[in-house]
Amino acid sequence: MSRLQVVSGKGGTGKTTVAAALALALATEGKRALLVEVEGRQGIAQLFETEALPYEERKIAVAPGGGEVYALAIDPELALLDYLQMFYKLGSAGRALKKLGAIDFATTIAPGVRDVLLTGKACEAVRRKDRSGRFVYDYVVMDAPPTGRITRFLNVNDEVAGLAKVGPIHNQAQAVMRVLKSRETAVHLVTLLEEMPVQETADGIAELRAARLPVGRVIVNMVRPAVLDAADLDLVRDTPRAALARSLSGAGLGGARRGGHAERLVDPLLAQAEEYAERYALEEEQRAVLTDLGLPLHELPLFAEGMDLAGLYELATELRKQGIA
């Protein structure tokens, strides 16, 4: 199993939730996982119902069987100062740079420096060892930028290595790329059973493959339970309306005669079934498109009442059951 698990997906597909559940699942039974947030949205803190995460690795959850999940929200500005300190020991020069706006420049506008720092920090955590030579984290899970930007984000070090042709940044960029393009890394894409996210997933996979980045799994999130199956939907077509009205009436919902309560339920209930059938057909279509991608495909259920901590543990269990972790 790859030690760096990158989770991307179209906005709104719940990639942060999936990343968090994956970290919990990987930490299960005595392992230690680090969950890394790179977009500064504090989504992880919200999910784990804790206060905003500082820029430090902090234990946020205990996984079943004694595992531990640590979290880190990377602040690009502090990461850059960190990085300068690491390579140059420039305490005061770092502050001077900050005063000049160089840090702001570097982290928000300069070509990819921000992304270099974010990927660099994650790779550093992957490689970090303790005194006895053991990896500090068994797994690092990254809540990464959305599908539309993921390839560029992960590949930024290639670009930077090309721009800065010598110097420590060049070397660092190359070291990061070696991790990202190896079997140590797997990039998973989270999607919904809807046309646009599925299309973006297919495009994203093509881009990742073209950039020789290791594509992992496709995870369909928020899958709605099937209330009616194909056989039920056939019944919608074949059942006479009067018979349906009689059944509804028999269940205690009023009269079946024309204008009776049960009879008046038939049209709206059938209209809802019609909508359901249309969505069902669309979902089946999208499922087929995803299957054709030829990657391991997983489905996670929708939590209708919204995601909370208990739901997160349920998703983690589900991920383990499906052999993802």
Partner 1 sequence: MSPSPDPAARHQEGARHLSPARVLDVDPLLEDPKTRIVVCCGSGGVGKTTTAAALGLRAAERGRKVVVLTIDPARRLAQSMGIDSLDNTPRRVKGVDDSAGGELHAMMLDMKRTFDEIVEAHADPDRAAAILGNPFYQSLSAGFAGTQEYMAMEKLGQLRARDDWDLIVVDTPPSRSALDFLDAPKRLGSFLDGKLIRVLLAPAKVGGRAGMKFLNVGMSMMTGVLGKVLGGQFLKDVQTFVAAMDSMFGGFRTRADATYKLLQAPGTAFLVVAAPERDALREAAYFVERLAAEDMPLAGLVLNRVHGSGADRLSAERALAAAENLEDPRIVDQDDGKAGLRNSPDTQDSSGSPESAPEEPEASRPTETSQRTEAPGTAEDTPERSADRLAAGLLRLHAERMHLLAREQRTRDRFTARHPEVAVTEVAALPGDVHDLAGLRDIGARLAAGRPELPEPGA
Q: Which of residues 211-230 bind partner 1 (CB under 8 A)?
A: 227-228
CA distance 72 to 35: 6
Three-point CA angle 74, 79, 82, nearest 5° = 140
- Establish if 163 lies at the interface with partner 1 (CB under 8 A): yes
CA distance 30 to 119: 26
- Establish if 175 lies at the interface with partner 1 (CB under 8 A): no
Choose, by CB under 8 A, the member of 145, 204, 214, 216 that binds partner 1: 145
Of residues 113-132, those binding partner 1 (CB under 8 A): 114
- Establish if 91 lies at the interface with partner 1 (CB under 8 A): no
Of residues 290-309, those binding partner 1 (CB under 8 A): 304-306
What one-character-per-residue DSSP string does 16-49 give?
A: HHHHHHHHHHHHTTT-EEEEEE-SSS-HHHHHTT
- Establish if 95 lies at the interface with partner 1 (CB under 8 A): no
- Establish if 133 lies at the interface with partner 1 (CB under 8 A): no
CA distance 157 to 207: 16
CA distance 35 to 37: 7
Half-sphere exposure of 202 (CA within 13 A, CB side): 15
- Establish if 178 lies at the interface with partner 1 (CB under 8 A): no
- Establish if 52 lies at the interface with partner 1 (CB under 8 A): no
Nearer to partner 1, 126 or 173 (CB): 173
Mask for 6-45, x = binds partner 1 (CB under 8 A) = ----xxxx-------------------------xxx----
Of residues 182-201, those binding partner 1 (CB under 8 A): 194-197, 199
Residue at 168: amino acid letter: P
CA distance 27 to 316: 10
- Establish if 93 lies at the interface with partner 1 (CB under 8 A): yes
Choose, by CB under 8 A, the member of 260, 295, 297, 301 that binds partner 1: 260
